[in-house]
Structure 1
Amino acid sequence: MSSALINQGALPLFMPVIETSPLEDFTILDEHLRKINTYDSIAFTSRNGIDAVSKRMRELKMDTSLLQQIHLCAIGKDAELLEALGAEVDVIPEEPSPTGIIRELAKISDIEGKNILIPASEVIGIPEPDVIPNFVAGLEKLGMNVTRVTAYQTRSLDKEIYNVELELIRQGKVDVIAFSSSAEISAFLNMCDVSDYQNTVIACFGPYTGANARKLGLNVSIIADDFSSFDGFAAAIASHFN
């Protein structure tokens, strides 16, 4: 994201409001990884999920080549991470989103009854965005047997570490706040009042993040049409100001 923004002439001020971390207890994840060959498909909805699964497989001395035997789904450039592991990605939806994955799987005539694993995050400290629950529901509507497994944790950070950044926003010295996920929005809103950011342009990485932002009361000015990578997001922000 940083290089994409800098390439567009922006001066990014980074304020990570969420962090991801490994699980404290891998028991359930390990159970599903050890029987990975019982799944017809695995749907990865984030780079973090791919990283968490591949790292844990290595720690369990499991060959990541096992992924080659499974129908894999990934979003946008996330597929490159799986390909770097030697795995072939079967579904890379034209619309880079969980909904896009559902649409592609719906085209498969014998999808009903197939077993699909979704490595996802446990969200701590903020309400869970509806992205994964809606994804699970959509796959179940296709007749798939869906197993969601927690592969990593996402938690909100303490606002006290961002006193300087929040004050710059209050003073109107930040031109745009760019959100790349719904979890970031919830965590940010926990840190400040509406009056702190009401005159700041809000940008969102794609229509789903934008819809959740509006649901949470934000006035969204920028939504990237190309949300397959951060390059498209940075270009949308630059276009708004040019």
Structure 2
Amino acid sequence: MVAAEEQEQPLGGRTILVTRAQEQAEALSSRLQALGAETVTFPVIRLAPPEDWGPLDRALLRLATDCEPGDAPYDWLVFTSVNGVRFCVERLRTLGLEPGLLRAARVAAIGPATAAALAEHGVSGVLVPEAYVAEQVASALLAACQQQGTGPQGQRVLLARAAEARRVLADTLRQAGMLVEEVPAYRTLPAADDDPRGQQVLALIKAGRLSLATFTSSSTVRYFMHWLEQACCEHAAETSPAALLARQGVAIACIGPITAAAARALGLQVTIEAQSFTIDGLVSAIVTYYRRLVETLPE
């Protein structure tokens, strides 16, 4: 019989690493803490403006151009992250424009969190795919074009996203005949190398006291493993980063299949892969894993 305390705080006694960017880490940490976990925040990425605001500025200014009905500069605006929405809204305001301009075209978002960020600025009726990955955004867009009777050919799409984002969405839309304008709204850069919290993380790993590492994007996996590899190089006796984590019993949790694939490509054994590709889905998957683990323990 599982104790009532374990039911209420199923993550009690677990130390969980949160690798998200500093401004986003709290959303995950607070959920895990509420379920009993001790969290260690170690942002391995930071978000930065694009190297050149010009492409984004020109695209946003086009939205402000007075057009005849049906002659808007874009048929679709596509956002693949909350960060893309945030940077676009901030840039609109810097240019003296209102976020409501994002309503100048139909809008698609990769998932509910991105749609919620748009809703905060009055953008509703957002197209959200059933599965929150770029491939499904493309499928949903193409299906929506067919349903509205226009077909995808010649549809103009503004895709504002991270400079390092995967190419699959833009490539798929172009192959279907859509006119895609890709503009970098922000960059994802490494942040861990000079962070003193890294020493605490490394000590927890080596002591076998880190229960779980969480990853919410491919970039968090890549930059964490890069940091850990550099840390291991300082200790000649250490094995590879992936082997160190496996040996010390650090479980790996990923927000979805794209992040999990990036982890496996770097040699990690993915323990938990969320079925709903959101923070809530990740937390739910972590709780399910540890509850099942407790149930298998001898009384």
- Report the TM-score, using the length of structure 1 for normalisation: 0.91
Between 212-221 and 179-188, the greater mean CA deviation after superposition:
212-221
Q: 1:158 to 1:96 in 2, by over 3 A?
A: closer
1:64 corresponds to: 99
Q: 1:224 touches 1:233 (CA, 8 Å); kept in 2?
A: yes
Matched, 1:100 2:136: yes
Q: 2:42 touches 2:192 (CA, 8 Å); kept in 1?
A: no
Structure with max Cα Rg: 2
Between 229-238 and 152-161, the greater mean CA deviation after superposition:
152-161
> Considering only aligned residues, what root-mean-square deviation do their CA atoms show, in Å?
1.6
Between 43-52 and 157-166, the greater mean CA deviation after superposition:
157-166
Matched, 1:194 2:242: yes
Between 47-56 and 106-115, the greater mean CA deviation after superposition:
106-115
Counterpart residue identity of residue 46, structure 1: S
Q: Which has the higher contact order (CA 8 A, sep 6+)?
A: 1
Task: String of CA shifts for 1:158-212, please: whole Å, max 9, x gaps.
Answer: 4342122122112211001110000000001111223331231111001221122
Q: What percent identity do the matched residue pairs reach?
A: 30
2:200 corresponds to: 164
Within the candidate set 214, 217, 222, 2:264 is matched to: 214
1:128 corresponds to: none
Separation (CA, whole Å) in 2 of partners of 1:135 and 1:7: 36
Within the candidate set 47, 61, 64, 1:20 is matched to: 47
Counterpart residue identity of residue 96, structure 1: Y
- Structure 1 residue 99: deviation in Å? 1.7
Separation (CA, whole Å) in 2 of partners of 1:76 and 1:207: 17
Alignment of 1:132-147 (within 5 A): 132-147=166-181
Alignment of 1:1-242 (within 5 A): 1-36=28-63, 37-74=72-109, 75-107=111-143, 108-109=145-146, 110-123=151-164, 132-161=166-195, 162-192=198-228, 193-198=241-246, 199-227=249-277, 229-242=278-291
Task: String of CA shifts for 1:114-150, please: whole Å, max 9, x gaps.
Answer: 1111112234xxxxxxx52112112222221111101
Aligned residue-pair number: 234
Separation (CA, whole Å) in 2 of partners of 1:171 and 1:136: 45
